[in-house]
Amino acid sequence: MESDLIINTDAREVTGLDGTWDIIIDPYQTGYYDYRSQPNPNGYFRNRKNVEPDDPYEYNFDLSDKLEVPGDWNTQMEKLHWYEGTIWYKKDFSWELKQDKRVFLYFGAVNYDARVWVNGEYAGRHIGGFTPFNFEVTELLQNGDNFVVVMADNTRKPEAVPTMITDWANYGGITRSVKLIETEETFLQDYYIQLNQNAENEVAGWVRLNGDQLQQRVEIRISEENIVHRVETDVDGFASFSFTAELRKWSTTDPHIYDVRIVTETDEITDQIGFRTIETDGTDVLLNGEPIFLRGVNIHEEAPYRTGRAHSIDDARTLLNWVEDMGGNFVRLSHYPHNEHMVREAERRGIMVWAELPLYWMIQWDNPETLENARNQLTEIIHRDKNRAAVILWAMSNETPLTDARVQFLQEMIRTTKALDPSRLTTAALQSRWIEEEGSERITFMIDDPIGEYLDVLGVNQYYGWYGGANAPMDHLTWETIYDKPLIISEFGAGAKQGWNVPDNQRWSEEFQAELYRHTLDMFDRIEFLSGTVPWILMDFRSPRRTLPVVKDGFNRKGLISETGIKKKAFDVMKEYYQRIEEFGHGVEIEE
């Protein structure tokens, strides 16, 4: 499936449009529709101003509020704290037109429905709040002064992806960077360069050109290994290739990354790419042919210390510093695609990544438009991150119901994933079912979700001791599966208010959370087919579903770290567990 997305934008000629933008809050979408609910050809995107006394324009960007981009609107203005709806953004900029050059307007993400105009002319529309997109604006720009207007609408809708109910804040706005990308008339738009998973010393991939001069000679250069491989593109600008190479493998202990240069007759670009294999063998996950236990943690794209949508390299570094301090080698980026800084920084550090789609809880599984929306978001994130060695798992969904329509929907998503990128593993956060034996305390967690047949790796969320059960030794709990596949416990944990230390390990206390972690981890040691654990969650995050005063106040409190960056007692429990796993392995009894 082809994509219009330009990848590796930081390596290209770019002009940033981040900074202060003028905004108009528009809950009735007055700037787009007239009083008959018809599109208004003279909407806010025209950026008109009253000059004469009788001019009729009832808006003015220059006299309105301001917001910083990238950033969500909810945490920049108190009056927008829980606002959902439409806000118009406008940015002025200067541009010098150049002959034989093309220009694309690129957005890292806009939540959720974005319409874009340049100098009052329509550039395009994008649906989906967590994936990048771009529009060619070469013919819309003019010498000198220009402006871009974005109509951003984060209204939740039943047919959307994600749908109406989520357990995270619906941060609205232009939440990631905006840039103008200048290219040659024919340029290297997209490429894929990774190890062939079936032949570990073979590099395989493809390149795709965009423009009029599509038949060109192309060189793939890895100077560190004195590699130069040549290929020629066809009439459609596409060429596949493979070549033998003895490369240093990317791993969690040696995250080696090569500078890979791709040179065409009209363009050239350099990317930083690691090479590794990822596969399964029965119930093991194999990195470069060796079993590895995934010492993970869940992360929401919540900014450390200040809250709001995380978006910067500094945000990524802070969050991943905490992961490393815990002893982690793996992150689940929940429950939607995170920003590119996060993925690339994880790769530099040797931290493996579970990348997830926002097919969360309830989706309109029978709606063809919802499926197409999901497939488009899947395509965009795979195209952006397909060259990142850190990404080992494409995750389809989280805690979705057991229905025939859901199985068919997810089967189609898995087929699309394998067609776009057969080199990585697929997974989903499934729900196990409890089987209680009559007259016995014995409880079996059974993993037999039918979608497990089509996945490479099983993910299961479990909260025994928090949602049901008791915070007590879990010796009576066992795990079974009908699949000979690796299992990742993709969520577990309990809520705790940082600094709330009360007697008798009461619910919501740090002591209760830490004790539940101890019992749960003891239980995990007895799961023979376990390949990884991912506690929920690294840091407390905003959620409108969490309203309990004093304890929650609009935050999900299951974090191991508070939203202000203070570690809870359970963080140290998890750290000690991962230290033991790293030294001795999973399920090994340690004599005191």
What pLDDT shows up at residue 471?
64
Q: Which of 22, 20, 93 is nearest to 59 (CA)?
A: 22
Nearest-angstrom CA–CA distance, 302 and 308: 6
pLDDT digits (tens, 9 = 90+) for 21-55: 999 999 999 999 999 999 999 999 999 998 888 88
φ, ψ of residue 354 to 5 degrees: the values are: -95, 115
Contact 24, 57 (CB under 8 A): no
Quote the radius of gyration of the chain (alpha carbons, Å). Answer: 25
531 and 486 Cβ atoms separated by less than 8 Å = yes
pLDDT of 59 above 80: yes
List domains and CATH numbers for the chain. 9-184 (2.60.120.260), 198-276 (2.60.40.10), 280-584 (3.20.20.80)
User: For residues 532 and 354, what is the distance between their CA atoms, to the nearest angstrom?
Assistant: 12
Q: What is the pLDDT of residues 72-81, one digit of tens each?
A: 999 999 999 9
Q: What pLDDT shows up at residue 174? A: 98
What is the pLDDT at residue 53?
Answer: 82
Q: Taking Cα atoms as reference points, which of 106, 137, 138 lies closest to residue 123?
A: 137
Tell me the pLDDT of the chain averaged across its residues. 95
At residue 355, the pLDDT reads 98
Give pLDDT, residue 234.
Answer: 98
pLDDT at 503 (0 to 100) = 73
Nearest CA among 403, 453, 391 for reference residue 428: 453
Q: Which letter does DSSP use for residue 410 in this model? A: H
Calpha distance 374→161 (Å, rounded): 6
Q: Residue range 144-151: average pLDDT?
A: 98
Mean pLDDT of 109-127: 98
Q: How many residues appear in the chain?
A: 592
Residue 472 has pLDDT above 70, yes or no: no
- The residues that bridge with 243 in the sheet, in sequence order, are 203
pLDDT band at residue 404 under the 50/70/90 scheme: very high
- Position 328 scores a pLDDT of 98
CA 146 to chain centre: 32
Please enumerate, as own/partner, the contacts of 414-421 that have beta carbons within 8 Å and a separation of 24 or more. 414/454, 414/455, 416/1, 416/375, 416/378, 416/379, 417/378, 417/382, 419/1, 420/1, 420/378, 420/379, 420/382, 420/383, 420/386, 421/192, 421/382, 421/386, 421/394
Contact predicate 570/560, CB 8 Å: yes
pLDDT at 570: 97
State pTM to two decimals.
Answer: 0.96
* Amino acid 588: pLDDT: 65
What confidence tens digit (pLDDT) does each residue in 295-339 have? 999 999 999 999 999 999 999 999 999 999 999 999 999 999 999
For 143-203, the DSSP string reads SEEEEEEEEEE----TTSSS-S--SS----B--S-EEEEEEESSEEEEEEEEE-TTSTTEE
Span 238-257, average pLDDT: 97
> How many CB atoms lie under 10 A from the CB of residue 516?
28
Q: Per-residue confidence at 1, pLDDT binned at 50, 70, 90?
A: low
